[in-house]
Amino acid sequence: MTGARPPTAEKRRAEERGGAGAAFQEAAPGRKLRLESAAGDMRGAPGAGWALAALLLAASMLSAALLAPGGSPEQGAEAEPQRDLDLDKKRHVELKMDQALLLIHNERLGTNLTVSWKSERCYCCLFQFLVNVSQSGEPGKPSIAAVSVSTQHRSVLQINDTLEEKEICRLEYKFGEFGNYSVLVKDTYNGVSEIACDLVVNKNPVDSDLPVTIAFLIGLSLVIAISFLRLLLSLDDFSNWISKAINSRETDRLINSELGSPSRADPLSGDIQPEMWRQVGSPYRLRCVDTFRGLALILMVFVNYGGGKYWYFKHSSWNGLTVADLVFPWFVFIMGSSIFLSMTSILQRGCSKFKLLGKIAWRSFLLICIGIFIVNPNYCLGPLSWDKVRIPGVLQRLGVTYFVVAVLELLFAKPMLENCVLERSCPFLRDITDSWPQWLFILILESIWLGLTFLLPVPGCPTGYLGPGGIGDFGKYPNCTGGAAGYIDRLLLGDDHLYQHPSSAVLYHTKVAYDPEGILGTINSIVMAFLGVQAGKILLYYKDQTKDILIRFTVWCFILGLISVALTKVSENEAFIPINKNLWSISYVTTLSSFAFFILLVLYPVVDVRGLWTGAPFFYPGMNSILVYVGHEVFEDYFPFQWKLKDNQSHKEHLTQNIVATALWVLIAYILYKKKIFWKI
């Protein structure tokens, strides 16, 4: 989600990008940007939302206090035992986050060493030069070279004889952050002359995951506290005591203003009736859908703000999944569900298909325009250079996906059967059989993706190549990043209009531009949105038939999971089609769609049927997702979402800052919800 950004933001994006999710409001399409007020129903005791928001902010502040670092860990060789004081200056290395100090001791006389390395996560990669170590000058006085090594993943070290260019030894080790290590290379004589390479820990590393553990425990404590409070509120004696402490008339007035009708829910017990379908703007709006969207949105905000600079909160360099890779496809999936629910509502209110088509086109156009604005923020660097404008992006892909799926549903939309509406029963598998034209179109689209991906000739690259290029595949195809997907983007859009810092550059050292929101991947984005439409049809056609809905969600989850197993062979890299966010491979779509059906399988009965959870706090940003998404992007570098850190190389401080910034957007979304302000397009 970058273009020509200010230097600090560009650097941060280059570390974290590969494509990130975006959220936006899925209510009825509109013809213009507007701030809209509408009535939303609250579930829970009066003021419970404010208490929740206050607790959330308090938890963030507590996180800031607990995670605030004391002193920075000693970095460099100053922690090394002072055996050779005259070498201290040579050993000193300025360590950054996710780095450790490695000292190579060459005790061999007359042999210069070359040390290379590669990450265990870098599949079929060339070794990269690390450091040269000169020969030992005299016995017992080794030559020492100091270098920083990555601690994010397990490292593979290769030590070669420089002159003979042959491997002496190879070590695999997971270094710890700010640790101090030595590799001792020496000759041994145990009857046979051998070369020994021993790794010694001079100084233990810090526990870099401790801040995440503390933050998780704080969040868990918050959930337990809120659950306990809800339990107390459900008890009659406690409720009666609360009622005596406050003005009952004022309480009734607040309940009525929030819920519209006291008979719809008991605010103290939290007993939500299954009929609670109506939300802002649509009679078919489910709370679990907005909760799911908000969950993905909050996760996306946290990830985009840095995620504490942890590797698992950044996008995977190529194949595989990290937390950051989950959010965008879930937005796409839930967008598909919302398309069907909102479109059904609009058509039943008497809106003509032609008029709705115009609204769909206008909304798609606005999404694309907003997306181009967000990924090209040149306001700090002067006038925008049209030669460098990034064209693809998150909102751009969402706009195109929304248009195709919405038009497809509009063309083949059928009126709801009377017995589906009144008797709440539908013919078996109507959610599938009514959609056979759409399914045919989706299968054709997927055939196009498979054909182009595996059959399109790409100059200088093997046909059907799915790799990252760079130093991957032992450096055979350095300029083939993304295969057909990258080639099509570079051919149709040009290198300068693509994302310049793909996540593949982190481990694979790729040099060519590659956009994770490119043209070919949009096909599978449409496929995923259509799977979301399928979920929406299940929710609507079998409304209030909880068992039928849950069975269908389970079946879809199981089927898509089996497809993923078949495509990936349960392997990250040795798959027919690996799970890959940069390519938006079909296995990536089926895997994340399976997860999405599972999440709905859990959320629907808990939130909408039993009312055991209101969806807070995720429900609030889910109701105002376009505002939260655009706002968090635009104000990313402004206080209070970012401030100067005392120690910029501390996971603790980054995590604290990112938690506070994310919590503030939850609070903003809650306040806007209470003010009945919703930004739609």
Residue 185 CA to residue 142 CA, distance in Å, equals 9
Residue 127 CA to residue 644 CA, distance in Å, equals 37
Residue 680: C-alpha distances to residues 26, 34, 35, 312, 349 (Å): 8, 6, 7, 33, 19
Q: What is the DSSP secondary structure assignment for residue 580, as one 8-state letter?
A: B
Encoded tokens for 502: 């793909």
Q: Tokens 């922690």 map to which residue? A: 79
Residue 332 CA to residue 353 CA, distance in Å, equals 23
- The phi, psi pair for 36, rounded to 5°, reads -120, 135
| Residue (of 262, 362, 485) closest to 28 by Cα position | 362
Q: Characterize 146-170 residue by residue with b for buried, 16 or more Cβ atoms within 10 angstroms of its Cβ, and e for exposed.
A: bbbbbbbbebbbbbbeeeeeeebee
Contact 278, 285 (CB under 8 A): yes
Using DSSP's 3-state secondary structure scheme, residue 156 falls into strand
Q: What is the DSSP secondary structure assignment for residue 188, as one 8-state letter?
A: E
> Would you please indicate which residues are annotated as catalytic (active-site) residues?
315
Length of the chain: 681
Encoded tokens for 489: 């983007």
Residue type, 660: V
Sign of CA dihedral 144, 146, 150, 151: positive
Cβ-in-10-Å burial (0-12, 13-18, 19+) of 80 comes to buried
